[in-house]
Amino acid sequence: MEMTGCGTAIVTPFRADGSVDEPALWALVNWQIESGIDFLVVCGSTGEAATLDEEEWLHTIRLVIDAAAGRVPVWAGCTHNSTRVLCRQAAALKRVPGVAAILSANPYYNKPTQEGQFQHFLALAREVDPLPVCVYNVPGRTAANLEPETVARLAAAAKNIEAIKEASGKLTQFADLSHQLPRGFKIFSGDDNLALAAIAVGAHGLISVASNEAPAEVARMIRAALENRWDEARELERRFARLFEANFWESNPAPVKTVLSLMGRCGDTVRLPLVPPTASTRAKLERLAGELGLLKNTPIPAGVRSEVY
């Protein structure tokens, strides 16, 4: 896998009736690419994949691939806590033209051992070979940490396991990954606020939430860090650090969708069990977005309504 840089874990816009807002998603993809993002990740956690049925999931992935039209790689999220179901879904995904890689998170709820996670991801890799796989370590959502030693075992056991999105929040884990993995194996931060530190110890980029709202700036921050222009990278990080935090004031992606709605990019509808941010959080998000200049060139829709489905 040659990919480095900044990828956006893109939201899935919904209409007020809860259906996927295809025109809004198409427009978001174009804006992301025109803003200089390096790749897109569709149907991840930020894309509310857990609330999409299988038909919607495949359709959304196809739509993003069509909208991207080969301009940037598109990675597809495919996660399940049943290895058998995961492999069935991944087999369907393998037949979708244009998928550049599969991103798959730890099995959630089951709390598997390291051996269980090893066998789970190895089964996925064998199912989709030769399609590249990026394993996604996000213990805050799954209650299971994927240890660097296990990632190294996976890299040795399956040549198409080529990357990790690391979102443990532990800088030492980035360092361990960098030390233990082959040089061609790619490490991506899954946390915007740790991206520069992660790159400093050997990571190759970021799969970002905040680049939904500020794609040009976050992509520039990552590119600057990778090119050792640290003064520029740190200045951008200082500017957007509050946004990195604000996106998690309430459960992701509700705050992100609120900011995007204020920017006129898409509605802020989320699907249950997620709910829109409280009025006080929404007010703080609007104030912050204004201070960061995110609202400067975009209309704020009158009477925006938040719905859940």
> Which residue among 109, 165, 257, 296 is the active-site one?
165
Task: Name residue, tokens 């030769």.
Answer: 130
Q: Is the peptide bond before 130 cis (omega within 30 degrees of 0)?
A: yes
Extract the tokens encoding 307. Answer: 């719905």
Provide the pairing of β-strand 161-166 with 5-9: unpaired
Total Cβ atoms within 10 A of residue 239: 14
Name every residue whose Cβ is closer than 8 Å to that of residue 226 and which is 6 or more positions away in sequence.
4, 5, 199, 204, 205
Question: Is residue 121 within 8 Å of 127, Cβ to Cβ?
Answer: no
Q: Is 309 a catalytic residue?
A: no
* Choice among 136, 170, 284, 296 that is catalytic: 136
User: Any alpha helices (H) in 99-194, and if so which ranges?
Assistant: 114-128, 139-142, 148-157, 171-180
- Check if 136 is active-site: yes
Length of the chain (residues):
309
* 208 SS3 class: strand
Residue type, position 214, single letter: A
State the catalytic residues: 136, 165
